[in-house]
Structure 1
Amino acid sequence: MPNISQILSHAEASCRQRGTNLTEKRKRVLTGLLQSKKALSAYDLIDYLRVEFDEAPPPTSVYRILDFLSEENLVHKLKLANKYVACSHISCDHAHEVPQFLICDDCGSVAEIGVKKNVINTLQNSVEQAGYLLKSPQLELHCVCQDCAERAA
């Protein structure tokens, strides 16, 4: 598993290839997400920036940074919680399955897994048969992680 500086280097190179720039502020927000095992809100990230870098950007700036990181496929937005997680595949150079998120309702940890395209296609067909159009194939599954399950047992 690559360390955070290796992941950031890969993210910078990816941005350069796309003609964009991973600025220092963007790197700091991405670092906060990489260090966290939980999804973070913009306000959580402002608190992180305050503690780690003695800066507190306005929420609008953090949201703009998160939008940029999302567009660059470096972070994912968990829509139901309005929180963000770093993509677990930043350092990979190959295509991946459709990302899905397992969210522990006890501790808040998040795991990203891939779902095969044919499963998403089946889901999309079911949605269309019900008379709807699928806007996003992203699933957010609320679970209990193994650690929390063992503690509860």
Structure 2
Amino acid sequence: MQDPREHSTSEAIIKHATAKCKQNGGLLTEKRKKILLCLTGSQKALSAYEITDLYKEQFGESMSPMSVYRILDFLQEQGLAHRLQIANKYISCMHITCSHSHEAAQFLICSNCFKVKEVSIDSALINELRRNVADAGFVFASEQLEVNCLCEDCKAQ
């Protein structure tokens, strides 16, 4: 199954992202757009420092890592990016250009190359996990699930 981001043009991504921000009362500024494009153009998860370097490489401008972190926080709040706790890296949401709702997200993260695949999980499974967590005396801090994996390329090596 191919990643839907591969079929979306940068224009379509920015158009949908701008509309989503506007709907949420936010503004997708030029710098925010560029950081989002850095994320959508990458096939792997990126750290804020990697995004800082990529931003300079792609747009010929410098940006401090703290500014990148603030923009990443904004993009997460808007549902345009995800922070992967396991890797402390970021990816764009694969559903930016979708107008319908989705199931809970699960992220399959290659622990070798940090390639990430976002897949949906059936709500019944999330409900079962929530019950198991509650039975153990805990509550979800986040329903985002992350799984350490090896991608096919790294497995073959």
Where on the TM-score scale, by shorter chain, does this alignment land: which range? over 0.9
Q: Which consecutive residues of structure 1, in runs of 5 or more, have no partner in the other structure?
A: none
Secondary structure at the aligned position of 1:112 is classed as strand
| SS in structure 2 of the partner of residue 96 of structure 1 | coil
Q: 1:35 — aligned with what? A: 41
- Deviations for 1:77-128, whole angstroms, at most 9, x for unmatched residues? 1012111000000000001010110111232210000111111111111111
Give the superposed CA RMSD. 1.2
1:96 equivalent to 2:108? Answer: no
Q: Which runs of 4+ in 1 moved over 6 A?
A: none
Q: 1:64 aligns with which of 40, 63, 70?
A: 70
Query: 1:1-153 alignment to 2 at 5 Å?
Result: 1-149=7-155, 151-152=156-157
- C-alpha distance in 2 between matches for 1:42 and 1:106: 18
Q: How many residues align?
A: 151
Q: Normalising by structure 2, report the TM-score.
A: 0.91
The whole-number CA distance in structure 2 between the counterparts of 1:104 and 1:27 is 27
Partner-residue secondary structure (3-state), 2:87: coil
Give the match's secondary structure for 2:134.
helix
Q: 1:43 is paired with a residue of what secondary structure?
A: helix
Identity within the alignment, %? 48
TM-score of the two chains, using structure 1 as the length reference: 0.93
Structure 2 unpaired stretches of 5+: 1-6
Q: Secondary structure at the match of 1:90?
A: coil
